[in-house]
Amino acid sequence: MITATGKSILKGIAIGKVKFFKKEQAKISDVVSDVETELKKFEEAKKKAQTQLRALYDKAVVEAGENYAAIFQIHIMMLDDDNFVTSIQEIIKNQKKSAAYAVKTAGETFAEKFASMDDEYLKARAADVRDISARVVNILTGNDKNFEESDEPFIIVAEDLAPSETVQLDKSKLLGFVTHLGSTNSHTAILARSMNIPALIGTEISEEWDGKLAIIDGYNSCIYIEPNDDLLQTLDKKRIRDIQQRALLQELKGKPNVTLDGTEIKLYANIGNVSDVGMVLQNDAGGIGLFRSEFIYLHSEDFPTEDEQFAIYKQVAEMMDGKKVIIRTLDIGADKQADYFRLPKEDNPALGYRAIRICLTRHDIFKAQLRALLRASAFGNVSIMFPMIISVREVLDAKAVLEECRRELIAEGVNIGEIETGIMIETPAAVMIAEDLAAEVDFFSIGTNDLTQYTLAIDRQNPSLDPFYDSHHPAVLKMIEQTVTAAHKHECWVGICGELGADTSLTETFLKMGIDELSVNPGSILNVRKTIRSIDLKR
């Protein structure tokens, strides 16, 4: 038996024979004499690639949901990116190179730029650039290779898998996949999670595994090649239990989040962009408790305009069809950096110039976002939440800018809906003055990740401090309880949107504290609902 370890994308078990996928390298000619012909070849290949991607989008909508199918819409847009297209055209014209060579070269240049970025999400986009470049090159070289059909279920093992390759697989036969390359933030990993496929990345693989029986153990982040009978029986039983558990959770859709004694709690979802809304609806969340709007900025090469932001907020509000959508104003800074902000280098960025501190000193940025949010409020149930608040003055200043934007829009004849305003409780300072803050807003949302970091004085980005990081620390739990008590004195409702919201070992504790709402990742909704419905607070 051979055992290889990696990073798990999804906790689950897959058992079947390995199908090793090896990509054929396209043979690319170099110098050409007819530049115009190569330019025309590129345009035709680009159009064909976009047609293929539209077909993949339609397939992914059915198999993975519209939010994840959006990956292929992004790929279609990437192929129309002015910088990318111009770079290819200039290589053909100036260097007298073939269209295939130009696409491959430009693709590698752009992919390397993404790969060198600090932000993990943007770094993972390098794989998307390589995917679309390879698609166009394969069209140009006649090397369109798909996976061979298989008569029996299989586990794919490959050096890497592009999103398009993942979607093209026969899902009725695909049990799981293992790759040597890739990241947990890659679109391929996202697709794997959306389709509930156990997968490992970062695994040392071998072509000799082809055709052999294997087990992916997503719980222990490993793959077993030619497992012994005892291990096979043990993990097969676990696989069957997982299937039964998922089926039971699906039965909870449409059911209320009510304890055995009749206590009800709102159960919302956290998202980072429009593409996540499908999962929110699919998992039956009551609303969106945290829309991390900073991802709009992180995915942009320059400050997103008011109109660009409005289109996004409006789409989310409309998709949620009257359900609450709480949008946090941008939380740039600390571990989330965008070069065009030109933020100064700081020794302690988590304690530095970030979030509301940027907004209150850069009204041009802040007002563009607030105007977009106010305009979107006419199309749904939108609430606005300010992050990293440590004083009443900050709340009053933020509300004053919001009111200024409101007056401007009304004067322009723009319709505005009713909006609740709230703040994030992320610092001990906010907890200590929670009663004063509650008098100024409609709701609190406790960001337990940062609250734990600042309470324990532990950098949560530093892996060497993991043994000391305790999100269940009594001080953290007391601060949450103190916040709830203070807020309720002013009829200010309180939610939790940090990782602890999905920690079912604390659900009963939070309910006893009087927490009004939990906002978790979409995939955790039904599991938290199951826990809520099993609790009896009168016992």
Higher pLDDT, 195 or 501: 501
Tens-digit pLDDT profile for residues 287-315: 999 998 988 887 777 888 999 999 999 98
Q: What is the mean pLDDT of the chain?
A: 87
**Which one of the listed residues 75, 187, 359, 492 is annotated catalytic?**
187
Mean per-residue pLDDT for 20-37? Answer: 77
Q: Is 142 exposed, middle or buried (0-12, 13-18, 19+ CB in 10 A)?
A: exposed
The answer to whether residues 475 and 456 touch, using CB atoms and an 8 Å cutoff, is: yes
pLDDT above 60 (res 9): yes
Confidence of residue 374 (pLDDT cuts 50, 70, 90): very high
Residue 159 to residue 156: CA distance in whole angstroms: 10
The answer to whether residues 325 and 316 touch, using CB atoms and an 8 Å cutoff, is: yes
Closest by Cα among 176, 185, 160 to 13: 176
Q: What is the pLDDT of residue 55?
A: 83
Residue 192 to residue 54: CA distance in whole angstroms: 20
pLDDT above 60 (res 146): no
Tens-digit pLDDT profile for residues 208-247: 999 999 999 999 999 999 999 999 999 999 999 888 877 7
Instruction: Pick the range with the lowest mean pLDDT from 147-151, 220-224, 485-489.
Output: 147-151
pLDDT above 80 (res 258): yes
Confidence of residue 25 (pLDDT cuts 50, 70, 90): low
Q: What is the pLDDT of residue 33?
A: 72
Higher pLDDT, 457 or 68: 457
What's the per-residue H, E or C state across 359-414?
Answer: HCCCHHHHHHHHHHHHHHHHHCEEEEEECCCCCHHHHHHHHHHHHHHHHHHHHCCC
Q: What is the pLDDT of residue 513?
A: 96
Q: In what order do the strands lie in the sheet with 2-5?
A: 2-5, 222-225, 213-217, 13-21, 154-158, 174-179, 199-201, 7-8
Rank 98-102, 143-147, 177-181, 432-436 by mean pLDDT and report only the highest.
432-436
Instruction: Pick the range with the lowest mean pLDDT from 120-124, 388-392, 396-400.
Output: 120-124
Residue 376 to residue 533: CA distance in whole angstroms: 34
Q: What is the pLDDT of residue 393?
A: 97
Mean per-residue pLDDT for 152-175? Answer: 79
Percent of the chain predicted with pLDDT > 90 = 50
Instruction: Pick the range with the lowest mean pLDDT from 164-178, 251-265, 276-290, 394-408.
Output: 164-178
Q: What is the pLDDT of residue 370?
A: 97
3-state DSSP call for residue 6? coil
Q: What is the pLDDT of residue 339?
A: 74
Q: What is the pLDDT of residue 194?
A: 60
Residue 282 to residue 329: CA distance in whole angstroms: 26
Mean per-residue pLDDT for 278-282? Answer: 81
Q: How many CB atoms lie within 10 A of CB 293?
A: 25
Mean per-residue pLDDT for 449-478? Answer: 86
Q: What is the pLDDT of residue 296?
A: 83
- Tell whether the torsion through CA atoms of 233, 235, 236 and 237 is positive or negative: positive
Mean per-residue pLDDT for 450-474? Answer: 84
Instruction: Pick the range with the lowest mean pLDDT from 47-51, 374-378, 477-481.
Output: 47-51
359 is catalytic: no
Mean per-residue pLDDT for 388-409? Answer: 97
Q: What is the pLDDT of residue 40?
A: 92
Instruction: Pick the range with the lowest mean pLDDT from 208-212, 309-313, 331-335, 509-513.
Output: 331-335
Residue 178 to residue 216: CA distance in whole angstroms: 8
pLDDT above 60 (res 476): yes
Residue 419 to residue 272: CA distance in whole angstroms: 21
Higher pLDDT, 316 or 353: 316
Closest by Cα among 361, 365, 380 to 329: 365
Tens-digit pLDDT profile for residues 170-199: 767 889 989 988 776 565 676 676 666 888
187 is catalytic: yes
Closest by Cα among 295, 296, 317, 319 to 308: 296
The H or E element that residue 445 is part of is strand 443-446
Instruction: Pick the range with the lowest mean pLDDT from 71-80, 392-401, 410-419, 489-498.
Output: 71-80
- What is the Rg, in whole angstroms, of the alpha carbon atoms belonging to the chain? 25
Q: Scan for tokens 């939070």, then name that residue.
A: 510
Q: What is the pLDDT of residue 419?
A: 95
Higher pLDDT, 535 or 247: 535
Q: What is the pLDDT of residue 265?
A: 96
Closest by Cα among 391, 522, 387, 499 to 448: 499
Residue 99 to residue 38: CA distance in whole angstroms: 5
